[in-house]
């Protein structure tokens, strides 16, 4: 899925994200994995089990981040917000607010993509 929600209005995009995640978590989709390309960090943390951050010129995988939060994910959870902030800091090469073990292992990079597999 290449930026499937980016051209939609905010409410429609949120509804479709929620519907898709519900179908995914309930295993009502006849697929085992989904590759989602996005530049929206919060969307990646919300939807993906694994985030791949790509470097620029040449585009290579610069970091792999495992997202271990259970679904449904709470965007207001401090750990969720911290992961979004850490990925943003990584992509903009700015210091993270609070260093976390995951963030301390992340190399410098930019645009993101994510990949997930069926929930276990």
pLDDT tens figures, 45-67: 999 999 999 988 888 999 999 99
Provide the residue count of the chain: 120
Give the total number of structural domains in the chain. 1
- Is 1 among the domain residues? no
Structural domain for 56, as ranges: 10-117
The residue with greater pLDDT, 13 or 114, is 13
Residues 38, 44 contacting (CB under 8 angstroms): yes
d(CA 90, CA 55): 11
- Is 3 among the domain residues? no
The residue with greater pLDDT, 89 or 118, is 89
- Is 5 among the domain residues? no
Residue 97 per-residue DSSP state? S
Question: How many other C-beta atoms lie within 10 A of the C-beta of residue 84?
Answer: 18
The residue with greater pLDDT, 96 or 86, is 86
The residue with greater pLDDT, 97 or 107, is 97
Cβ partners under 8 Å of residue 55, min gap 6: 61, 62, 108, 109, 110
- Is 107 among the domain residues? yes
- Is 4 among the domain residues? no
SS3 93: coil
104 — pLDDT class (breaks 50, 70, 90): very low
């Amino acid at each position: 899925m290449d930026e499937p929600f980016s051209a939609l209005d905010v409410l429609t995009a949120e509804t479709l994200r929620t519907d898709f995640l519900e179908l995914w978590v309930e295993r009502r989709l006849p697929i085992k994995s989904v590759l989602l390309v996005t530049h929206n960090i919060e969307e990646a943390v919300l939807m993906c089990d694994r985030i791949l951050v790509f470097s620029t010129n040449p585009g290579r995988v610069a970091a792999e981040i495992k997202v271990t939060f259970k679904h449904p994910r709470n965007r207001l959870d401090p750990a969720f917000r911290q992961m979004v902030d850490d990925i943003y800091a990584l992509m903009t090469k700015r210091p993270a607010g609070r260093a976390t073990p995951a963030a301390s292992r992340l190399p410098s990079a930019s645009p993101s993509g994510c990949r997930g597999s069926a929930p276990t």
